Amino acid sequence: MTIVPVGYLTLLQAADALAVVMFGGEPDLPVVGKLRAHGIDMSDGDARSRAIAEIWSAVDEGHLRATAIGGTPRRLVKLDAELTESIPGLRSARGRGFSLLRPAHPAFRQLFDWFGRDFADVVLAFREVEIRKLGHRLARSRRAKLRRKVLPRKRVGRPALQARVEAVIVKCVESGKWSPPQTIKALTREANRLGSWTTPVSEDTVARALKALFGKTGDRRFLHPGRKPRE
């Protein structure tokens, strides 16, 4: 059996390391939990398969390079992504080796020149430092997804608030309670009196709503001259 050099991980070792990053903190599948409850130490095959898929995706994107290790004397050969994709079973979560490669396959001659006829002891491996970098990228992506789930909830309601403020401003203008010669502060006071707000709306919010109303309608009743510059 070929021994993997220091600084390299087999595909399964790499997948298990990534699975911790990808699924750490999430509950095991029910079947895995039941078996472990009965003293059977079983890994989560689905998590491992998804981690393996991420590895090959990184290989295709050029972030990771697969290495074949074997032969006498031992050789370490970097494999192109296209070559790994063409070898039967190599990318399979259940296969992971070169044993299905037959002499009629175009890649057979190349591997034969590297390792001889016996492919059973040829091991697929990845540099540990590259797997760690991939783990960092996946961790960042996972954190970003978690943030996207939380942040939209904090922002819900802002467009609706703008529309409600505009509606109240229209009421103020049409009822004669405010007109452009008056200040934004006065309009804000009327808007807070007439509207039903969880917290009072600010002058900036009212000013933006008033400007938006004029932009939509072109109605000069909503055109406020703004502050005069100081001399």
Q: What angle do CA 42, 55, 79 make, to 5 degrees?
A: 120
Sign of CA dihedral 125, 126, 132, 134: negative
d(CA 99, CA 122): 9
Least Cα distance to 130 among 82, 67, 81 occurs for 67
d(CA 107, CA 90): 12
- The pTM score is 0.57
d(CA 224, CA 131): 60
> pLDDT, tens digit, for every residue of 39-66?
544 455 788 889 999 999 999 999 999 9
Which stretch of 58-72, 143-157, 179-193, 199-213 has the lowest confidence by average pLDDT?
143-157
| 129 has a pLDDT exceeding 80 | yes
> pLDDT, tens digit, for every residue of 132-154?
999 999 888 888 877 776 655 54
